[in-house]
Amino acid sequence: MLARDIIRRVREIQVRTGRHVADVLAGGYVSVFKGGGIEFEEVRPYVAGDDIRAIDWNVTARTGEPYIKRYVEERQLTLMLMADVSASQDFGSDARSKRDVAAELCALLAFSAIRNDDKVGLVLFHNGVEQYIPPRKGNKHALRVVREVLAHGAENEGADAGLAVNSRARRLRTPRQGTDIARAVEFLMSVTKRKTVCFVVSDYFDDHFERALQTANQRHDVIAVLVTDPRELEVPPVGLVQLRDAESGRIGVYDTSSRSFRAALARDADARVQGLEKRLRSSGIDFVHVDASRSVVDPLVRFFRMRDRRKRK
């Protein structure tokens, strides 16, 4: 992908997401994440109407007058976006690939955070951490985050995935590298000490990552975002097709005209999605499922509403 094409796509995403951030998501972002923590500000004299549960009994005992502790909401959050850039993310049966959808989702979250004066950071990963952008503020920084999700490894498009085509070969996404979510999460834990809101955006074609997410969720607020393409869940009857696994490089020939084959594929795909959601939710990790052929905004809105209802209970 040429640099001018990447810039054009970033601008398209900025225009497309700008209205949603202004009209839909920014309020949900604030209600869900702001005030997630509080910090002590001062002790002041008690006045009628104050909550008696806030009385500082130590100060009250020393002075002989009632005083209360005053807290304020932590106004600045750190949003970490962890985006899977493995080869399987480049798949797309519709107008957009899963990578395009991940970039748009990251843009929506990044611009919502920037609008509320929060910091945004980025981790790109597949079988290891490919790029880390420390959290910063500002619209220019948010645009860089979106650009990197789209551009990372794009120099290899159209080339033989098994060959190093230039000096930047260390950044190319090749088959057999697979995806290692656990390693990426462990990296996040090593570089981020302060509590963050962390969205892990991936198609989750990986194993043995759930314990790492659980551990990270004890310190941070981890949200798992699954991005799928419709053709991963259901295939049309088009006869014999040759399919290549983007993660492993394996190639196979399948008869899609077989009703039993299509049914088994759909059944296994649905079980994978439902099982992943069930396991993560049982571990206290929120789960968002995004269909690459549909709106990115709708599942985020549903997520914000769910979190807001839970917060109010």
pLDDT confidence of residue 177: 61
Task: Report yes or no: 185 and 209 within 8 Å, Cβ to Cβ.
Answer: yes
Distance CA 269, CA 246 (A): 16
pLDDT given at position 312: 74
What confidence score (pLDDT) does residue 173 get?
Answer: 47
The three-class DSSP label of residue 191 is: helix
Residue 34, pLDDT score: 60
Q: What is the dihedral of CA 182, 184, 185, 188, to 10 degrees?
A: 160
Cα 63 to Cα 42, 49, 78, 278: the distances in Å are 16, 20, 39, 54
Paired with 78 in beta bridges are 119
Nearest to 254 by CA among 236, 268, 265, 240: 240
- Name the E strands within the chain: 38-45, 67-73, 78-84, 119-125, 129-136, 197-202, 221-228, 240-244, 251-255, 286-291
- Tens of pLDDT along the chain (313 residues)? 556 676 677 777 777 676 667 566 767 777 677 654 555 667 889 888 777 888 989 989 989 999 888 765 555 789 999 999 998 998 988 888 999 999 989 988 998 888 888 899 999 999 999 999 999 999 899 889 888 988 876 554 443 333 222 323 334 445 446 799 999 999 999 998 888 999 999 999 998 999 999 999 999 999 999 999 999 988 889 999 888 887 777 898 999 999 999 999 999 999 999 999 999 999 999 999 999 999 888 999 899 889 888 877 7
> Which domains does the chain carry?
3-34+75-312 (3.40.50.410), 38-73 (no CATH)
Residue 223 is predicted with a pLDDT of 97
Q: Residue 277 and residue 274: Cα distance in Å, rounded?
A: 5
Q: What is the pLDDT of residue 195?
A: 87
User: Can you give the pLDDT at residue 32?
Assistant: 73
Under DSSP, the state recorded for 49 is T
Q: Which are the contacts of 154, defined by CB distance < 8 A and separation ≥ 6?
A: 1, 6
Q: Give phi and psi for 142, each to the nearest 5.
A: -60, -40
Coil/strand/helix, residue 104: helix
The separation between CA 102 and the C-alpha centre of its own chain, rounded to angstroms, equals: 8
d(Cα 81, Cα 149) in Å, to the nearest integer? Answer: 10
